[in-house]
Amino acid sequence: MKDQSESDSGMRKHPIKPITLWNIIRFFITAAFLFGVWLIFAFRWDSYAVLSGLAGSFVISGLTYKVFIAEHEASLNSIVPWPLRLIIFFAVLIFSLYTSSFKMLVAVFSGKGSPRIVYFKTRLRSDLARMVLSNSITFTPGTITLDLNDDHLIVHWFFCNTRHAKAAGEAVKGRLERALSRAWR
């Protein structure tokens, strides 16, 4: 009896509302993501496909929304990106892909280069944005992410010209990180 009242007061001390609201938001984000992927894969718009996809995505997101989005994520904006800024980020990514490809092409034919392993930090907060940053660093030829701890990146960089960690970070990820920090807040 006493135990229950203790836990009750404990519950009252923490506000209940935001946590349950956050659960509902997580559930619906997961369901919307699954339903979008289903629509793309099925590629038909008759009622049977749409309804069965909707039912399946709701059931699966009810089972797995706790795994899909971690609870400690700060806000909605750290998961759902701004669509227009995401497109700008993709443009920046493709542009830097081709420029660094040409640099790498010259390096292959001339045989020159100064590969070194550099360490730097990122100032992005959201986990998803960090993952996208390290993936896009690996996606551009010339830089490969070797390890990613919380906000600490170990990168093998083929055109290293500095020993300063901050300058190296600016040269490797400057443009990408700026575009990314606009997309995910």
Partner 1 sequence: MRITLDIIAAVSFLSTIVFGTAGLIGLFRFPDPYSRLQSGSLCGTTAVFSMFIGALALAPNGAVAARIVILTVFFMVSSPTSSHIVARFIWNSGVSPWKPEEKD
Residues engaged in binding partner 1 (CB under 8 A): 40-41, 43, 97-98, 101, 104-105, 108-109, 111-117, 134-136, 138-139, 141-142, 144-147, 154, 156, 158
CB of 110 to partner 1, least distance (A): 11
Distance CA(24)–CA(43), nearest Å, equals 28
Q: Toward partner 1, which CB reaches closer, 27 or 69?
A: 69
Distance CA(87)–CA(83), nearest Å, equals 6
Distance CA(96)–CA(182), nearest Å, equals 17
- The label of the residue with tokens 């209940």 reads 16
52 membership: H or E segment, kind and range: helix 47-68
Q: Toward partner 1, which CB reaches closer, 81 or 142?
A: 142
Strand 152-157 and strand 143-148: the pairing is antiparallel
Q: Toward partner 1, which CB reaches closer, 31 or 155?
A: 155
- Specify the long-range contacts of residues 134-139, CB closer than 8 Å, at least 24 apart: 136/93, 136/176, 136/180, 137/172, 137/173, 137/176, 139/93, 139/97
CB of 114 to partner 1, least distance (A): 6
Q: Toward partner 1, which CB reaches closer, 22 or 159?
A: 159
CB of 157 to partner 1, least distance (A): 9
CB of 99 to partner 1, least distance (A): 11
Q: Toward partner 1, which CB reaches closer, 22 or 33?
A: 33
Distance CA(144)–CA(21), nearest Å, equals 39
